[in-house]
Amino acid sequence: MSQPTDDLIARLTGNLAPVKRLTPPLWRAAGLAALATLFLTLLVAVRGLRPDIAIKIADPSFLTAVGAAWLTGVTATMAALEISLPDRSQTWIWLPAPAALLWVWGVGWGCLAHWVTILEARPVEESSVRCLTTLVAGSIPLALVLWKSLGRAKPLRRSATAWLAAVAVAAFADAAHLLCHVVEATVFVLLMNLGVAAVSIIVLGGIGGRVLPRAG
Amino acid sequence: MTARESDWSALMCRAQDGDGAAYAALLGEVVPWLRALAWKAGTQPDDIEDAVQDILLTLHDVRHTFDPARPFAPWLQAIARHRLIDRLRRQGRRQAREIPIEEEHETFPAPETNSHEVAGDARRLQAAVAALPEGQRQAVELLRMKELSLKEAAARSGQSETALKVALHRAIKRLRSLLDGR
């Protein structure tokens, strides 16, 4: 063995401190999903349910959109925690894809099915700021908790981990948003739900990869 | 899981608990394996030791992510693969934007640093060897440049060992006279 490598090993192994092993990722994902659900429930309670919730609850596309958004959040959290570990399969990145497709389909189908009633509805400007604040208030604390948890693994695949975490945050926040706000114009529905989610993903995913601690 | 991997897993568990001796034993055992991995990944020979040390530092930094319920070798291999790919990417980026300094770019004042003169001598020697008669040129190439034994050179050239010796002697004499006449 060459001298510098010997020296390095001596340096790394001298006065070695014990380390706390990471809890298996699926346990951590379950904890984070529970925390996110609790937080979003509180957010919805503070903001109040949308006024037409009684009608919406009978609409399959609405239920699909909310359920799929939440499921996208859960599966993206699981995938991000798995991918953050060195030896886990790259195929974990596809875990949130089915739920994400269902989420996009639910929001899009809702717009299409109610095209006529949406066109006759009231102007949307009055609620747009509240919508955005709900999304931001939902996203930032979730992002901080998730990044803190992911950072403990010092992921080697930092970009993939950050992008999945960004998808999780955007999906959870949109689930709360769908329950709180009535957004009445088709384009605006897409913009508020999927557009803001896309912006969140791009911003959080782009910045997040740099923010996560680097190993080595 | 092989016996070796099982040992490595046990050593890593003890390392996670703070056992420095177990950790040193483990790192000592994995180093040759990491060198082989680096070599297979296309790392330049003079860069292999740096690559191994890079992997060891990363392993140390993420040692808390090792799950004793899972095998050690794939975990280490994944870390090594990530680090080696990172290094190859960095190397590729560096090569794309940097031009290596050739000997003729060096213009240091000390005469020994102006090594292009040495390169010039090498070129003159090559030209002189090329100008030798066929038998003599072959003797120089096989016995001096390729450093073959007399027996190997004889087998390859089809000349006898004595003929090769004579040809080499004449070639050196001729080269001396050619190069000394500069």
Tell me what percent of the residues of chain B surpass a pLDDT of 90. 37
Note whether residue A110 is domain-resident: yes
Residue A8 covered by a domain: no
Domain spanning B116-180, CATH class: mainly alpha
pLDDT greater than 50 at residue A124: no
Looking at chain B, the domain(s) classified CATH 1.10.10.10 span 116-180
Sequence letter at residue B79: I
**Rounded Cα–Cα distance for residues B109 and B121 (Å):** 20
Q: How far apart are CA A132 and CA B8, in angstroms?
A: 52
d(CA A138, CA A142): 7
Structure confidence at residue A54 (pLDDT): 81
User: Helix, strand, or coil here: A121?
Assistant: coil
**Residues of B whose CB is below 8 A from A14:** 20
Angle at A155 between CA A79 and CA A12, to 5 degrees: 145
Complex-level ipTM beyond the 0.85 threshold: no
Alpha-helical runs (H) found in chain B = 3-16, 20-40, 48-61, 72-97, 116-130, 134-140, 150-157, 161-180
Is A197 inside any structural domain? yes
Neighbour-count burial for B44-66, b at 16+ CB within 10 Å, e otherwise: eeeebbebbbbbbbbbbbbbebb
- Backbone torsions φ then ψ of B42, nearest 5 degrees: 90, 20
- Smallest CA–CA distance, residue A9 to chain B, in Å, is 6
- Domain(s) of CATH 1.10.1740.10: residues in chain B: 3-97
Mean pLDDT estimate for chain B: 84
- The answer to whether position A20 is within a domain reads no
- CATH number attached to the domain at B3-97: 1.10.1740.10
Residue B16 pLDDT grade (very low, low, confident, very high; cuts 50, 70, 90) = very high
Name residues 81-100 of chain A within 8 A of B (Cβ).
85-87
The answer as to whether A126 is a domain residue is yes
Contacts of A154 in chain B (CB under 8 A): 61-62, 65
Alpha helix stretches (DSSP H) within A48-184: 53-56, 60-83, 97-113, 115-119, 125-151, 158-180
Residue type, A61: S
Inter-chain touch B65–A22, beta carbons under 8 Å: yes
Using a CB-CB cut-off of 8 Å, the residues of chain A touching B68 are 21
| CA dist list (Å): A179 to A7, A135, A161 | 59, 11, 28
pLDDT tens-place string over residues B34-64: 999 999 988 888 889 999 999 999 999 999 9
A106 pLDDT exceeds 70?
yes
- Min Cα distance B1 → chain A (Å) is 15
Say which of A5, A22, A24 has its CB closest to residue B53: A5
Is A18 within 8 Å of chain B by CB? Answer: yes
Q: Report residue A205: phi and psi, to 5°.
A: -65, -40
Instruction: Indicate the number of domains in chain A.
Output: 1
pLDDT digit string, tens, across residues A140-187: 898 889 989 999 999 999 889 988 998 898 889 888 888 887 664 445
Range of the domain at A201: 27-211
Residue at A16 is within a domain: no
Which of B20, B21, B58 minimises the CB distance to A215? B58
